[in-house]
């Protein structure tokens, strides 16, 4: 088309990666949509530099990475050797006139990417796809077959640009945004298949598996049929699905092949017949692929075209063919095949090279299913044997084919492998499944299970228990809503009561099937919502037999026994149970008496259903009419029964344990009773639940209040023992009744009740539910915990058991002792000296400390136990002190009186301040007052005694012990509050003299005891000096003092801190300074260490004083 402006969007090639990785989302290469004049996005991933342009071009990346302007000279010719050669230019590019690039090759063989602008001159021929971030100009008489797109304008007034959409999907290493394909890729490099694949075997004993880095579908062994399904849904309308894979068939004598299957995802995929049908079509008595809509057969022996469908064209060896939709043993019609649908060379090999014999040269297949038009589904098959892809089956519309089923909502994609009388190894590699749209499978049902009685009768609808299993062992059920379509869909003389489509929740349900003909009926599930895992099989159990697919073939008998044992409590007998001997009436087909007004010896035995054949801790007999009956038919117990005119007898039944049992009855006629040859059987399942559970703790306290002893730490595990018990003649104290060892139940809810304190916080349990397992003691021990403090009791909520309408009732333990805190957290700590001083660690003996802090009770996990208050509080804080140098416990020196506010919500505030505001904390001098010390590194620490015996809780993060100052780990029991140098101190007032007409400065000196004498304390920067504390003792005059209030500096007062007024005359006097309690001393040597310092002052002309030699500080 001349003069056209084409605007396609180039997308997603993974540069330099293998072919299979080509499909990537658009925004991984181009970070925004391409529009007119848009730049090359910054996120583009260019390949490694490779500035070459050889002849011929190979399928690799050529990248001119240096920015600049490049030119392909006039009349240049470049051919390609296959898909795809990629040329990248970092800059502008001019393609000279008369140039031919891939002119004889298909468009998928060449991609050109230019980061700038592109100029294509006259008379150029290019087969390929071109992208430029800037503008593109195309000269006259230029022909481009492929596609052109640009960020800027495209000018092509005299050129012909032909868009080759079909070539897009054949690009190796890239595709276009118009497709937007997302892919699942598997090169089978792992040791085992990933969870993306589900495998199945329908014939033989080989399961598809990875062998030497390939997916092996069959061995070279006769009559194998296998399948794998990819766990992804593909919408069947408005979609494009492209499947590529390497295929290898070798090692045998040429049979049979494999198939690629698209099936209705609403129907659980199940493989078809083995041999010629390749696991897709059918054989007599063997249904075709369940839900199959299209089957692509890679056929070696040739019978895929010859059998397996309602229309066939005869054997076509070494061929590829497509079959249509089918169900059971109808449909699966032959639609298309190679060699002009098999009309060419019908007696020899259709394809060359052949489908098999390619162990060392795998053939790559591409299957395209294009439903984007909405009204058609175009299907094609291509193959690459080494020289590029060639078309094997040209596109055709599968929807329009005769007999084709309506298009389903979604497809599953499966692969099937098959051998027959002849064999080959069949393998796949490098599988790529790409689609415009695909969906996750979501939740899946692993499989369904059916349980039914041992003796289904034609005159009575048979009851089935249906389970939707969430895992292969069916230990978990799909409890969300389930809808299932049951097989058979119809039955000539009966059918599913209420229809074959059922809906249920909770994981299981009951259904009934009527079959009025003495024959076998195969039951199962053909489809479900949520979907059933592909290739899964329905499993069935007849009576107490094992679960197998074969047991889903259900036999119905014309006569037998009917009885109904009610569900009840373990150990509680049920009497007056009617047992009827019946047969089918020839006319009404209803149940009528088989015999009447006779006595017959009936054999009874029981079978375990739940628990099953294994895993029982004990096996206890069922009682019929007070007789223990055997546990198998071989051990059956014969009991005479009297049948009335209606063919009915009554029995009583008891079973002492929990579980589901089946009671079986059998009668064999004899000549003595004129019914030789008559065999009648019957069975019924019933459930016995525990009467209740017994919940015990290791200790109890009937008072259920704060007086109870400590039981456990809040948050710590403790054993909670739960035992299942039977009826015990109606005793409601279940703990005294016999046990039920076979009781088992998962997810039993546990509950908690707070008994004290009243209106306290309930807290939370560590274990919200538990699993009760079978054991000979019928006992499970739960490691329970409680987050709160207080007194509790523990229990189980009411719960259902095996579907019984009547629940096992709730149960409670007795009240426990107290749950107590695990530790106490210290916070809001404030510790100040009086007077306040933060200059150094100097602390005098007897110096006041102001301490306040908060204690909070915590559980083991560090959460507040808010119920720790009032009568539940036992904690006492204890201060300790110890010196590290010399090492000495100074606890006996501590004077400590703490005032605590009341505990509330697990917390209390402590302070050493008295009601008058004075601190009540200090470290005393020796009891005799004599000086000692100093004590370096004196640690003040806080310990919390919880008041329990033994102690269960302590202060959080302890780091000290007054008895073990260098403690580590568990040795530590206290928290450091502060570290001081503790000194014995005194305050001295120096003697002074001066002129009578001048004010006289007095000096105060702080001293401490060091090595047997007092020395000035240079560490005292805080002791207060107040002139008001100076008072006259005796002498010639009482002078006023001035100086205000200051503090010592390096232990000595300022000369201006204490000034005596000038007396104006000569004389002397004595003065006293009132020191704080921690700086008093025994100045008079009287044994009292509470004396204040004194001095003597002299005013007047200095003459010397004969008494001066006797001056001393006092």
Q: Dump pLDDT digits (tens) for 249-264.
A: 999 998 899 999 999 9
CA distance 220 to 243: 25
**pLDDT given for residue 750 in this prediction:** 98
Query: For residue 218, which phi and psi values (nearest 5 degrees)?
Result: -145, 160
Which tens digit of pLDDT belongs to each residue from 297-307?
999 999 999 99
Mean pLDDT to the nearest integer, 762-789: 97
Sign of torsion over alpha carbons 331, 335, 338, 340? positive
Place of tokens 């100076």: 1030
Neighbours of 24 (CB within 10 A): 19
Mean pLDDT to the nearest integer, 76-88: 89
CA distance 464 to 512: 6
**pLDDT given for residue 65 in this prediction:** 84
Please name the residues in contact with 18: beta carbons below 8 A apart, sequence gap of 6 or more.
Answer: 430
Mean pLDDT to the nearest integer, 1059-1082: 95
pLDDT of 26 strictly over 80? no
* Max Cα-Cα span within the chain: 158
pLDDT of 33 strictly over 60? no
Which tens digit of pLDDT belongs to each residue from 55-65?
999 988 888 98
Tell me the sheet residues that pair with 267. none
CA distance 157 to 146: 18
Check: CB of residue 522 under 8 Å from CB of residue 552. yes
CA distance 832 to 977: 11
CA distance 366 to 244: 4
**pLDDT given for residue 230 in this prediction:** 96
CATH of 560-689, one of 3.40.50.720, 3.40.50.300, 2.60.40.10, 3.30.420.40: 2.60.40.10
CA distance 388 to 382: 10
Q: At 433, list the tokens.
A: 């499944």
Please name the residues in contact with 826: beta carbons below 8 A apart, sequence gap of 6 or more.
Answer: 853, 854, 855, 942, 955, 956, 975
Counting every residue, how long is the chain? 1114
- pTM for the whole structure: 0.61
Distance of CA 1103 to the CA centre of its chain: 99
CA atoms within 13 A on the CB side of 486: 28
Q: At 125, list the tokens.
A: 């021929």
Q: Euclidean distance between the first and final Cα of the chain, in Å?
A: 123
- In this structure, of 9-13, 668-672, 831-835, the range with the lowest mean pLDDT score is 9-13
88 exposure class (CB count in 10 Å sphere: 0-12, 13-18, 19+): buried
Fold agreement between 184-435 and 560-689: no
910: closest CA among 951, 955, 953, 948? 955
Mean pLDDT to the nearest integer, 104-115: 89
DSSP state at residue 51: -
Mean pLDDT to the nearest integer, 453-462: 91
**pLDDT given for residue 159 in this prediction:** 86
Check: CB of residue 250 under 8 Å from CB of residue 284. no
Which tens digit of pLDDT belongs to each residue from 302-348?
999 999 999 999 999 999 999 999 999 999 999 999 988 878 777 88
pLDDT of 23 strictly over 60? no
**pLDDT given for residue 14 in this prediction:** 25
Long-range contacts of 65-70 (CB under 8 A, 24+ apart): 65/90, 66/90, 66/91, 67/91, 68/92, 69/93, 69/94, 69/116, 70/94
pLDDT of 42 strictly over 60? no
More confident: 357 or 343: 357
The structural domains of the chain, with segments of one domain joined by +, span: 10-180, 184-435, 447-557, 560-689, 692-820, 823-983, 985-1110
CATH class of the domain at 447-557? mainly beta
**Banded model confidence at residue 916, pLDDT cuts 50, 70, 90:** low
CA distance 818 to 338: 85
**pLDDT given for residue 222 in this prediction:** 93
CATH class of the domain at 692-820? mainly beta
Please name the residues in contact with 1045: beta carbons below 8 A apart, sequence gap of 6 or more.
Answer: 1024, 1025, 1026, 1027
Tell me the sheet residues that pair with 883. 888, 938
- Mean residue pLDDT of the chain comes to 89
Q: At 157, list the tokens.
A: 């007034």
Q: At 111, list the tokens.
A: 């991609």
Mean pLDDT to the nearest integer, 124-152: 85
Asked if residue 950 has a cis previous peptide bond (ω within 30° of 0), the answer is: yes
**Banded model confidence at residue 976, pLDDT cuts 50, 70, 90:** very high
Mean pLDDT to the nearest integer, 443-464: 93
Is 730 strand, coil or helix?
coil
Q: At 447, list the tokens.
A: 């499989």
**pLDDT given for residue 756 in this prediction:** 97
Mean pLDDT to the nearest integer, 769-786: 97
Query: For residue 178, which phi and psi values (nearest 5 degrees)?
Result: -60, -25
Percent of the chain with pLDDT over 90: 74
CA distance 836 to 537: 85
Please name the residues in contact with 813: beta carbons below 8 A apart, sequence gap of 6 or more.
Answer: 695, 696, 697, 700, 720, 793, 794, 795
Percent of the chain with pLDDT over 70: 92
Is the CATH code 1.20.120 the one for domain 823-983? no
**pLDDT given for residue 177 in this prediction:** 43
CA distance 224 to 31: 49
Secondary element (H or E) of residue 340: helix 338-342
Please name the residues in contact with 916: beta carbons below 8 A apart, sequence gap of 6 or more.
Answer: none
CA atoms within 13 A on the CB side of 325: 17
**Banded model confidence at residue 613, pLDDT cuts 50, 70, 90:** confident
**Banded model confidence at residue 50, pLDDT cuts 50, 70, 90:** confident
**pLDDT given for residue 30 in this prediction:** 35
**pLDDT given for residue 343 in this prediction:** 81
Is 548 strand, coil or helix?
strand
**Banded model confidence at residue 84, pLDDT cuts 50, 70, 90:** confident
**pLDDT given for residue 915 in this prediction:** 52
**pLDDT given for residue 836 in this prediction:** 61
**pLDDT given for residue 41 in this prediction:** 36
Mean pLDDT to the nearest integer, 562-589: 92
Q: Which fold has domain 184-435?
A: Jelly Rolls (2.60.120)
**Banded model confidence at residue 21, pLDDT cuts 50, 70, 90:** very low
Check: CB of residue 426 under 8 Å from CB of residue 514. no
**pLDDT given for residue 480 in this prediction:** 93
**Banded model confidence at residue 416, pLDDT cuts 50, 70, 90:** very high
pLDDT of 372 strictly over 80? yes
CA distance 411 to 408: 7
- In this structure, of 157-166, 602-611, 677-686, 699-708, the range with the lowest mean pLDDT score is 157-166
- In this structure, of 155-169, 587-601, 664-678, the range with the lowest mean pLDDT score is 155-169
**pLDDT given for residue 841 in this prediction:** 82
- In this structure, of 13-27, 461-475, 914-928, the range with the lowest mean pLDDT score is 13-27
Q: At 841, list the tokens.
A: 């660690």
Asked if residue 84 has a cis previous peptide bond (ω within 30° of 0), the answer is: yes
**pLDDT given for residue 166 in this prediction:** 67
SS3 of 390-419:
EEEEEEEECCCCCCCCCCCCEEEEEEEEEC
Secondary element (H or E) of residue 903: none
**Banded model confidence at residue 612, pLDDT cuts 50, 70, 90:** confident
Is the CATH code 2.60.40 the one for domain 985-1110? yes
**Banded model confidence at residue 18, pLDDT cuts 50, 70, 90:** very low
Asked if residue 611 has a cis previous peptide bond (ω within 30° of 0), the answer is: yes
Place of tokens 């039981």: 711
Check: CB of residue 300 under 8 Å from CB of residue 255. yes
**pLDDT given for residue 39 in this prediction:** 35
**pLDDT given for residue 842 in this prediction:** 86
Distances in Å between the alpha carbon of 902 and those of 758, 877, 906, 907? 17, 14, 10, 8
């Amino acid at each position: 088309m001349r003069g056209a402006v084409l605007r396609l969007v180039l997308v997603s090639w993974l540069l330099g990666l293998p072919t299979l990785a080509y499909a990537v989302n658009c925004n991984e290469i181009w970070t925004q949509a391409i529009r007119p004049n848009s730049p090359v996005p910054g996120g583009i991933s260019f390949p490694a530099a490779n500035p070459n342009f050889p002849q011929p071009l190979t399928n690799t990346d050529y990248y001119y990475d240096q920015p600049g302007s490049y030119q392909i000279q006039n009349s240049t010719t470049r051919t390609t050797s296959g898909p795809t050669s990629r040329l990248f230019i970092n800059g502008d590019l001019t393609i000279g006139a008369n140039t031919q690039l891939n002119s004889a090759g298909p468009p998928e063989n060449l991609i050109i990417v230019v980061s700038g602008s592109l100029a294509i001159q006259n008379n150029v021929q290019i087969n390929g796809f071109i992208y430029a971030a800037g503008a593109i100009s195309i000269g006259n008489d230029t022909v481009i077959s492929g596609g052109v797109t640009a960020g800027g304008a495209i000018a092509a007034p005299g050129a012909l640009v032909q868009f080759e959409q079909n070539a897009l999907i054949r690009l190796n290493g890239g595709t276009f945004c118009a497709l937007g394909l997302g892919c699942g890729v598997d090169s089978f490099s792992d040791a085992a298949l990933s969870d993306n694949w589900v495998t199945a075997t329908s014939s033989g004993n080989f399961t598809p598996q990875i062998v030497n880095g390939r997916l092996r579908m069959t061995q070279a062994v006769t009559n194998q049929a296998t399948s794998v399904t990819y766990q992804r849904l593909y919408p069947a309308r408005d979609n494009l699905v492209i499947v590529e894979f390497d295929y290898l068939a070798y090692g045998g004598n040429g049979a049979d092949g494999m198939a690629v299957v698209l099936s209705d995802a609403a129907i659980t995929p199940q493989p078809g017949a083995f041999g010629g049908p390749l696991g897709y079509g059918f054989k007599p008595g063997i249904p075709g692929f369940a839900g199959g809509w299209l089957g692509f057969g890679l056929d070696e022996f040739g019978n895929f075209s010859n059998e397996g469908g309602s229309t066939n064209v005869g054997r076509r060896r070494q061929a590829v063919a497509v079959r249509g939709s089918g169900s059971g043993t109808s449909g699966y019609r032959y639609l298309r095949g190679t060699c002009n649908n098999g009309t060419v060379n019908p007696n020899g090999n259709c394809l060359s090279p052949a489908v098999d014999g390619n162990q060392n040269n795998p053939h790559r297949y591409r299957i395209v299913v294009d439903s984007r038009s909405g009204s058609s589904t175009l299907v094609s098959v291509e193959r690459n044997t080494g020289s590029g892809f060639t078309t094997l089956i040209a596109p055709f519309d599968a929807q329009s084919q005769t007999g084709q089923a309506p298009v389903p909502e979604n497809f599953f994609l499966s692969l099937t492998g098959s051998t027959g009388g002849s064999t080959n190894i069949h393998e796949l590699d490098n599988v790529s499944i790409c689609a415009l749209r695909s969906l996750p499978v979501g939740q899946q049902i692993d499989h369904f299970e059916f349980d039914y009685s041992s003796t289904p009768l034609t005159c009575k609808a048979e009851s089935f228990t249906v389970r939707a299993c969430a895992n292969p062992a069916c230990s978990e059920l799909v409890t969300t809503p389930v809808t299932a379509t049951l097989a058979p869909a119809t039955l000539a003389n009966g059918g599913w009561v209420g229809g074959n489509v059922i809906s249920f929740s909770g994981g299981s349900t009951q259904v009934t099937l009527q079959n009025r003909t003495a024959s076998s009926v195969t039951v199962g599930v053909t489809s479900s919502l949520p979907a059933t895992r592909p290739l899964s099989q329905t499993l069935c159990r007849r009576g107490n037999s094992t679960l197998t697919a074969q047991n889903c073939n259900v036999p119905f008998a014309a006569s037998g026994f009917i009885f109904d044992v009610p569900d009840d409590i373990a150990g509680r007998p049920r009497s007056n149970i009617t047992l009827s001997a019946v047969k089918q009436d020839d006319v009404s087909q209803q149940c009528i008496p088989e015999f009447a007004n006779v006595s017959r010896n009936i054999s009874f035995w029981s079978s375990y259903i739940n628990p099953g054949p294994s895993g029982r801790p004990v096996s206890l007999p069922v009682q019929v009419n007070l007789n223990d009956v055997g546990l198998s038919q071989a051990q059956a117990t014969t009991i005479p029964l009297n049948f009335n005119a209606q063919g009915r007898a009554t029995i009583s039944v008891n079973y002492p344990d929990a579980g589901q049992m089946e009671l079986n009855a059998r009668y064999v006629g004899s000549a003595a009773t004129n019914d030789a040859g008559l065999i009648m059987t019957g069975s019924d399942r019933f459930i016995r639940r525990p009467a209740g559970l017994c919940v015990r703790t290791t200790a109890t306290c009937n008072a259920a209040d704060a007086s109870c002893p400590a039981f456990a730490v809040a948050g710590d595990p403790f054993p909670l023992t739960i035992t299942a018990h039977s009826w015990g003649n109606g005793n409601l104290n279940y703990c005294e009744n016999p046990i039920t060892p076979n009781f088992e139940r998962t997810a039993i809810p546990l509950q908690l009740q707070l008994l004290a304190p009243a209106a306290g916080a309930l807290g939370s349990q560590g274990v919200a539910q538990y699993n009760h397992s079978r054991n000979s003691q019928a006992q499970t021990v739960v490691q329970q915990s409680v987050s709160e403090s207080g007194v509790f009791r523990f229990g189980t909520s009411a719960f259902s058991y095996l579907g019984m309408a009547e629940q096992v009732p709730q149960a409670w333990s007795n009240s426990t002792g107290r749950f107590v805190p695990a530790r106490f957290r210290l916070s809001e700590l404030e510790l100040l000296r009086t007077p306040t001083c933060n200059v150094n660690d100097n602390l005098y003996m007897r110096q006041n400390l102001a301490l306040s802090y908060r204690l909070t009770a915590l559980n083991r996990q560090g959460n507040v136990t808010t119920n720790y208050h009032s009568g539940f509080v036992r904690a006492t804080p204890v201060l300790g002190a110890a010196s590290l140098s010399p090492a000495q416990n100074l606890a006996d020196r501590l004077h400590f009186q703490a005032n605590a506010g009341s505990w509330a919500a697990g917390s209390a505030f402590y302070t050493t301040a008295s009601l008058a505001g004075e601190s009540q904390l200090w470290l005393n001098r020796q009891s005799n007052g004599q000086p000692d010390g100093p004590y370096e590194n004196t640690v003040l620490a806080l310990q919390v005694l919880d008041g329990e015996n033994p102690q269960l809780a302590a202060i959080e993060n302890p780091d000290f012990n007054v008895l073990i100052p260098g403690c580590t780990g568990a040795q530590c029991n206290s928290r450091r509050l502060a570290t001081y140098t503790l000194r014995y101190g005194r305050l001295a007032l120096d003697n002074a003299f001066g002129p009578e007409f001048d004010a006289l400065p007095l000096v105060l000196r702080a001293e401490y005891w060091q090595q047997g004498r007092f020395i000035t304390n240079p560490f005292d920067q805080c002791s207060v000096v107040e002139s008001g504390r100076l008072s006259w003792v005796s002498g010639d005059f009482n002078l006023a003092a001035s100086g205000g209030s200051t503090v010592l500096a390096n232990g000595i007062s300022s000369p201006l801190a204490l000034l005596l007024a000038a007396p104006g005359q000569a004389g002397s006097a004595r003065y006293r300074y009132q020191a704080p309690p921690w700086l008093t001393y025994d100045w008079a040597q009287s044994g009292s260490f509470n004396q204040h310092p004194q001095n003597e002052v002299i005013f007047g002309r200095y003459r010397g004083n004969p008494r001066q030699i006797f001056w001393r500080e006092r």
